[in-house]
Amino acid sequence: MKPALEKIRSIVNDATLDARQKARYLSLEAENMLPYPDLDAQTAQALDERVLCDLYEGNAPYKPRYVLPDYSVILTKGSAYLELDAPETLDEAINCLMIAYHHVPSVTGIPVYVGHLDKLLLPFCDGESDDALYRKMKLFWRYLDRTLPDAFMHANIGPTDNRVARAILRVDAELKQIAPNLTFFYDPAVSTDEILEIATNNIVECSKPHIANHPIHARTFDDQGYGIVSCYNALPIAGGAATLARINLKEVALRAKGVDDFLGVVLPHYVDLNFRLMAARMTYLFDKSNFFSSFLVDEGWIHKDRFTAMFGVYGMAEAVNILQQVEGRTGKYGFDQDANELGYRISRSLSDQVKATPLKHAWRQRAMLHAQAGISVDKDVTPGVRIPYGTEPDPVSHVQALQPHHQYYASGISEILTIDETIKSNPKALLRLCKGALASGFREFTANVASNDLVRVTGYMIRLSDVEKFNNCEGSRIDTTVLGAEAAAGTGILERKPRVISHELSPSYRQ
């Protein structure tokens, strides 16, 4: 049998995947039998050498990578296409959302954004007792985890302290599910200390939610707002991200003669090529795929002009350490002031270039810089601008070393702070750390607490017990477990004091 057919056969017969998971991998194989969107020779070579990486989004982009529908549309107007009237009660509103999710595509086929839930549902909560609200949220949460089992699926709450947010935090800590992932928007001028403390106590319990620095994000976007989805990507509501292509800064550094050559010549060259890669993919999506002739656009859930492109980078730590060595300096990234300063210069230079480069089809005609969190097949390269696993300094020094990067990464940057489990006896320390990080300019605060079964692998959540079961060939109903298992085996993330790694999508099927 030909290798391509053999691979398809092995997907079909795989003992650890369920039928739905198999169907998804089969669809990826089919898409990738098509030729890649037209690329010039230089860009194609850079992609081939993996200096650039398209995150294996597929050869024929027929849907945006991330879609963030404005769910308030269906909740206020209903949907003609779905034959739904505007809901009037909380039950009807939740039911509308449950239906809506099944019509929202993404790179994984499962929606990455389930909405800013407290804002969406509060108008339907008058007359609902706290207990009824709690019970309804619990059923809703169970539904999300069981029918849309992917840890990239993300719910948002905050910044106000309200009944729905509180019910969700209570349910989330109680159920400790992988899905949905959760972000609380924190605004010191609006959020109460009490709700932030509930949120950080939840982190101690289950490493969720992630806390977003709302004032900084709000300034980055417009009145229609933003959502935090998937692995901490900040994107426009009623739009999203058409694509995410990333540069491996380590590979770029290996091709440079020194710091000046890196900043002045080699990096700008690959920035240019990455723009060409994104443009080629977006041309296909916008001009050929017919994605935008959809009821989602007709009914106003999304707008064609609100999709940005995420300009990703990763391997900052390795790039800086390589350049330090070339320049005859020994200081390491994350620890040495000179090395850290070099990192900030690289981030600033990237940001300047990305801001200055027009990109057709993109929201505001620009891409947005993103510190990309890695995928399960990355080896010997650290996600985004993070400090390599297992070598991180204490959480305060960690935040201080990375904070100056945060101003540059408009579409998201996440450090995952690994906190030892002694914090369980003193959760106020985590509250302080969170407040400190956000006050110093961190765009987002994310922590894993050691010994929790539920841990974050680069951004998405996995259960360690699921990984163990999967590796024993028992299969998992959760898509991201496969990624977690790959990441754990391939990247040493579980060696990390507590743990972390890898990002997004399940790139392709591997036995």
Query: What residue ranges bind other proteins (CB under 8 A)?
Result: 394-397, 399, 420-426, 428-433, 435-437, 439-440, 451
Residue that the structure tokens 């200081």 belong to: 331
Q: How far is the CB of 394 from other proteins (least distance, A)?
A: 4
Beta carbon nearer to other proteins, 170 or 424: 424
DSSP 458: B
Beta carbon nearer to other proteins, 301 or 445: 445
**Residue 92 DSSP SS3:** helix
In angstroms, the Cα distances linking 325 to 334, 340, 373, 392, 402 are: 15, 14, 25, 20, 21
Beta carbon nearer to other proteins, 216 or 373: 216
DSSP 112: S
Between strands 367-371 and 307-314, the pairing is parallel
Q: Compute the Cα dihedral for 79, 82, 87, 91 and give only its sign.
A: negative
Q: How far is the CB of 133 from other proteins (least distance, A)?
A: 32
Q: How far is the CB of 201 from other proteins (least distance, A)?
A: 13
Q: How far is the CB of 445 from other proteins (least distance, A)?
A: 12
Beta carbon nearer to other proteins, 452 or 502: 452
- Both structure tokens of 488: 């754990």
Q: How far is the CB of 400 from other proteins (least distance, A)?
A: 8
- Both structure tokens of 420: 């030892």
**Residue 34 DSSP SS3:** coil
Beta carbon nearer to other proteins, 86 or 429: 429
Hey, which residues does 227 pair with through a beta bridge?
Answer: 235
Q: How far is the CB of 452 from other proteins (least distance, A)?
A: 12
Plot region of 225 (φ>0 → left; ψ -120 to 50 → alpha; else → beta):
left
Beta carbon nearer to other proteins, 364 or 432: 432
Plot region of 313 (φ>0 → left; ψ -120 to 50 → alpha; else → beta):
beta
Q: How far is the CB of 485 from other proteins (least distance, A)?
A: 27
Alpha-carbon distance of 44 to 368, in angstroms, equals 22
Beta carbon nearer to other proteins, 44 or 396: 396
Residue 308 in contact with residue 242, Cβ under 8 Å? yes
